[in-house]
Amino acid sequence: MVNTKVVLSGIELDNPIIPASGTFGYGYEFAEWYDINCLGTFSFKGTTRDARFGNPTPRIAECTAGMINAVGLQNPGVDAVISRELPKLKECFHKPVMANVSGFSIEDYAYTCEKLDKEAQVGWLEVNISCPNVHGGGMSFGTSPEAAAEVTRAVKAVTTKPVYIKLSPNVTDIVSIAKACEEAGADGISMINTLMGMRIDLHRKKPVIANRSGGFSGPAIKPVALSMVYRVYEAVNIPIIGMGGISSAEDVLEMMLAGATAVEVGAANLIDPMASKNIIDDLPRVMEKYRVSSLSEIIGGAH
């Protein structure tokens, strides 16, 4: 009998599978397809201080081995998430959930995190300083160690729950940024967010996406994600949630061997709403195939 349990900042998960923010809504949408309590947890839709309509359409473009999105953090704002979305979620998900937070200033991040930290359903805060699809914030905080540390310190000052900083791969040295977050008090690192990408419509001879470029995700980015998780694992002493192109149980083992304690599944959920469940169902078979008796024992095993 294999053991799929892992521990993420003191909270035990039945398995390491976490649907990624922006690909799983607020959970109850997927509860119409299957019992989402089979998940380790999930990261709900990126939440900002105020409501956001997001970017103009079209926002999605398919591409070889992946997709490009520029949704632009569309969400109803933190107060509506707390009053409307979390009560609906509580009816179908009975485990701690991960709250994903974005902002456009240090004050925005602190305000939103402080509010969500008080919610009993929230187990962890995933602070997104790496969104490439918004202007005047988002990824700009994740491109320098100093800015990343400043956000981390501000959030940690007003919260009690574990804080995971979500990092961008669109940087020169992701290791230095991860180390700066750790030194500023981060409890963990989430990585990687999407790469920058675009498509051009040959008929119109213009970019497919209204935002011109967007976040590139899907199987094509897995080698980049693995390399970055591997390098950061050797540089920090806090847990890593690995993501980027995960679409199978084999991918999960690979990411954990690189150094991830848990693994987020993103674009695969948009291709197949059953993707995360299918990965969980297949994990025991794949663990037995590769003679892995306990997932917690292989974290960083490739080093």
Query: What pLDDT, on a 0 to 100 scale, did the predictor assign at position 131?
Result: 58
The percentage of residues in the chain with a pLDDT greater than 90, rounded to a whole number, is 93
Q: How far apart are CA 125 and CA 137, in angstroms?
A: 18
Instruction: Report, as an integer, the average pLDDT of 264-281.
Output: 97
pLDDT tens figures, 68-84: 999 988 999 999 999 99
Give domain limits for the chain.
6-297
Cβ proximity of 61 and 208 under 8 Å: yes
Q: How far apart are CA 225 and CA 67, in angstroms?
A: 16
Q: How far apart are CA 49 and CA 113, in angstroms?
A: 9
Residues annotated as part of the active site: 131
Cβ proximity of 220 and 171 under 8 Å: no
pTM attached to this predicted model: 0.96
Q: Could you tell me the pLDDT band of residue 141, with boundaries at 50, 70 and 90?
A: confident
- Identity of the amino acid at 187: D
What number of H helices and E strands is found in the chain?
9, 15
Helix (H, G, I), strand (E, B) or coil at 265: strand
Helix (H, G, I), strand (E, B) or coil at 152: helix
Q: Could you tell me the pLDDT band of residue 140, with boundaries at 50, 70 and 90?
A: low
Question: Is the CATH number of domain 6-297 1.10.260.40?
Answer: no
Comparing CA positions, the residue from 125, 146, 150, 156 lying closest to residue 21 is 125
Burial tier of 205 (Cβ tally within 10 Å: 0-12, 13-18, 19+): exposed
- Identity of the amino acid at 212: R
142: pLDDT strictly greater than 90: no
The pair phi, psi for residue 167, each rounded to 5°, is -100, 155
Burial tier of 198 (Cβ tally within 10 Å: 0-12, 13-18, 19+): middle
pLDDT tens figures, 193-219: 999 999 999 999 999 999 999 999 999
Rg, Å, the chain Cα set = 18
Query: What pLDDT, on a 0 to 100 scale, did the predictor assign at position 139?
Result: 52
Cβ proximity of 8 and 241 under 8 Å: yes
Query: What pLDDT, on a 0 to 100 scale, did the predictor assign at position 143?
Result: 83
